Structure 1
């Protein structure tokens, strides 16, 4: 499959996600029922981020222009262990391997094993050749390299199991915010989003805030009010 074909497929995927037809709505509902942390609202946010940041044709073209992608390569098979803390959290790993022209075998988290499978199945209906590049497995064996995301504890096992192969192993991570006290209401509201979206389960969610020793928390707490239904 040539690079331009892969880009065209991703463009079609973007259109499908934006259209948000009945079929996709049923899949989102199933994912939400399967995992109560995956509310429809947060699934939609994840999809919006993917369509705007990862599947925009212009951004994709600029991104891949920094790399040499050869249509004549002999594809290797990359095993991907995906996390399941937020909806479609492993999409960027999937995208990177797919756009590079390599094959991938994906082990999905039991917490998020509906959405990506559906998207790949749609891609296969648009181009049957996709099935030669993307597969799913309960156990990863015989891959040429691995990308694995998990907890600090599971990362120790990944390091052991994949020690003989090229690999990227990701552990727990979270984000912090440093406030000076002169932030605008708009900035505080964006910080509130960074804290509360996905119920704070994402690695980019802010879980710790540093403030000056003398700090007025009133405006910060006011910015949290729109998420008071979480309590």
Structure 2
């Protein structure tokens, strides 16, 4: 296949994902039963985000500086499953670049990725020779593996001798200036609660200026109180609340989110850490020192940082060039071609 043909196939896949067919709805309903974290709203949101990138002009521009390649090299993909279809971007990058993909699915996938692959093959059967879903990864030339800090050590040990991208835990942070409107603070709720905060782009910590009243924030995010009704999220909320009460840890509680002052970036599920600041430059410097733990920053202020920054509410809708961990996957692939 040529680059143009591959682009056309993925653009057609994007059209399918926006079509809301009965087949797609059945798969999303089944996934919600297999994996309760994959609720219909979350899966639909992810489908919409993926489809928005699968436009012919956007894909063409994304690949414009790279050659039309048909590589005989295979890329092993170890996918995560923390949110629906989280590994699709890697599959897209590998296949559209002309490489073969050997895909190790997460046990949490709930059938979503195989369904998308099958639809791609229906659109363009010639991809069949380029896609293999496997239980055990062998005979690969490159590796892209996504997991936790613990699993990354395992990945480094077993896969480190081949050209690789190995991803670890990351989170998003928000920086408030104190001038945000109620509507802007409400948009921050999407950064925190979309996918229940399980994504690497989910905001787990906010930086607030001295004197900022958290009551403003709590009032703005009231529309997200429905997350408390999800039994898994609710269990995490109850557990962490109990721990804080038993230990006497100072925290704020609005009935569905616990907010605790803490210097760490990554917070437990249903918990949001915060720190106060006097000087924005100090925050920027502190975050730069922890850049390897931060996927992105959200803020409506002017932030001086080379960490990717989005406006409030925008963290969960990455463009094609918003690469996980800041590693350009296309550049990695073509460098090994």
Superposition TM-score, scaled by structure 1 size? 0.95
The aligned runs of 1:33-182 (5 Å cut-off) are 33-52=33-52, 54-65=53-64, 67-71=65-69, 73-182=70-179
Deviation string, structure 1 residues 180-219 (Cα, Å, up to 9, x no partner)? 2111223212211100000000001000111123111222
Displacement after TM superposition at 1:59 (Å)? 1.2
Q: Which residue number corresponds to residue 189 of structure 2?
A: 192
Displacement after TM superposition at 1:118 (Å)? 0.6
SS of the counterpart of 2:209?
coil
SS of the counterpart of 2:14?
helix
Matches of 2:159 and 2:110, distance apart in 1: 23
Unaligned stretches of 5+ residues in structure 2: 229-337
Of 217, 223, 226, 2:223 maps to 226
Matches of 1:107 and 1:74, distance apart in 2: 20
Matches of 1:202 and 1:15, distance apart in 2: 25
Matches of 2:56 and 2:5, distance apart in 1: 12
Q: Which residue number corresponds to residue 232 of structure 2?
A: none
Displacement after TM superposition at 1:61 (Å)? 1.3
From the superposition, tell whether residues 40 and 70 of structure 1 become closer, same or farther in structure 2 (CA, over 3 Å): same
Q: Which residue number corresponds to residue 12 of structure 1?
A: 12
Displacement after TM superposition at 1:113 (Å)? 4.3
Matches of 2:9 and 2:25, distance apart in 1: 21
SS of the counterpart of 1:227?
helix
Matches of 1:167 and 1:142, distance apart in 2: 14
**Greater Rg over alpha carbons, structure:** 2
Deviation string, structure 1 residues 119-164 (Cα, Å, up to 9, x no partner)? 1111212222111011101111110010000000000000010121
Deviation string, structure 1 residues 40-98 (Cα, Å, up to 9, x no partner)? 0000110111111x202221111111x32224x43210000000000000111011101
- 8 A contact 2:34–2:110 mirrored in 1: no
Unaligned stretches of 5+ residues in structure 1: none
SS of the counterpart of 2:103?
strand
Displacement after TM superposition at 1:31 (Å)? 0.9
Matches of 1:16 and 1:185, distance apart in 2: 36
Of 23-32 and 176-185, the range deviating more from structure 2: 176-185
Matches of 1:94 and 1:116, distance apart in 2: 10
**4+ aligned runs moved over 3 Å, structure 1:** none
Aligned alpha-carbon RMSD (Å): 1.1
